[in-house]
Amino acid sequence: MSQGAVARGFVRPRRQERRAGTVGGDWLLCQRREAEEWLDQGIGTLDAVEQSLADLNRINLWLGGLRSLTRHLLPRLRRWPSEVCHILDLGAGGGTIAYKLARWGRLHQRPLRVFALDVRLPHLQWAQRQLAGWPEIILVQGDAWAPPVAEGSVDAVISSLFLHHFTPDELRQLLPCWANLARRSMIMSDLVRHPLPYWFMQVASPVFARSPITRHDAAVSLRRAYTPKELRTIIDQAGLQEAQLFCHVPYRMTLVLDRDEGAQP
């Protein structure tokens, strides 16, 4: 590997990974491909990682990630009792979702406290610099396998671009555990695996994926993502048959589980 590649904060995929289809082959994305994302592995310099987090913020804002979550969460926040609502954001990354919710809460005089949980300290350090002046956002370093939150201690558990990081077997274990943390609702938005968004990102990378980390991870994410049918099967196998799964444009889907009838808008 050249020193220049390391200095720029990225490495090229290994040849065997390309052959296996993590970044090539199966152009119709018929099969889900399990591969590691560089951001999860800590690959890249601090500057490259921070640029990738900024890319993810841009992608969430402009490509439907935020909207596919808030269209289900905000009506519930309006309906729930007026005391402070506690929200746990799993895999919060750079804190885009937490910031948008806190900003909405201030604009609508709706008291919120958002716990933004991520396992990687550099992500939280970057988020801390971006979120100065927002005390209603609490950054928490922790593992989604064992969130430092008691069962039923938050009103809502949310995530965006997070579910595809786990295998079907892992989701069957984790979804019921996450659901038990919420008093009212669990709302999780993610990508839909389909060739159109995959090829769109190949073309639109200069706009949305300026970091080499993001360009790699976007391709991997779209191959790791589930189809609605696959995720629905996993949800049912996890014992959460009462959960709803909504599909949204462009190629997003949102899992919504209300813990009681009063949680629904």
Compute, in degrees rounded to 10, the torsion defined by CA atoms 243, 89, 110, 131. -160
Q: Is the pLDDT of residue 7 over 60?
A: no
Tell me how far apart the alpha carbons of residues 161 and 24 are, in angstroms, rounded to a whole number: 21
> Please, where are the H alpha helices in 95-167?
96-107, 121-130
Q: What is the pLDDT of residue 262?
A: 60
Cα separation values, 248 from 28, 93, 134, 192, Å: 20, 22, 30, 9
What is the C-alpha to C-alpha distance for residues 5 and 28, in angstroms, rounded to an integer? 30
Q: How does pLDDT run across 187-214, given as a tens digit for each residue?
A: 999 999 988 767 766 776 776 667 778 7
pLDDT one-digit tens code per residue, 109-163: 999 999 999 999 988 998 999 899 999 999 999 999 999 999 999 999 999 999 9
The CA–CA distances, whole Å, from 200 to 66, 233, 252 equal 19, 27, 14
Neighbouring C-alpha atoms within 13 Å toward the C-beta of 5: 7
Determine whether 83 is exposed, middle or buried from the number of CB atoms within 10 Å of its CB (0-12, 13-18, 19+): exposed
Collapsed DSSP state (helix, strand, coil) of residue 256: strand
| CATH superfamily of this structure's domain 45-263 | Vaccinia Virus protein VP39 (3.40.50.150)
Mean pLDDT, range 231-253, rounded to an integer: 96
Partnered with residue 208 across adjacent β-strands are none
Q: Higher model confidence: residue 112 or residue 54? A: 112
What residue has token string 């970057």? 126
Identify which has the larger pLDDT, 234 or 4: 234
**DSSP letter string over 144-159?**
TTS-S--TT-EEEEEE
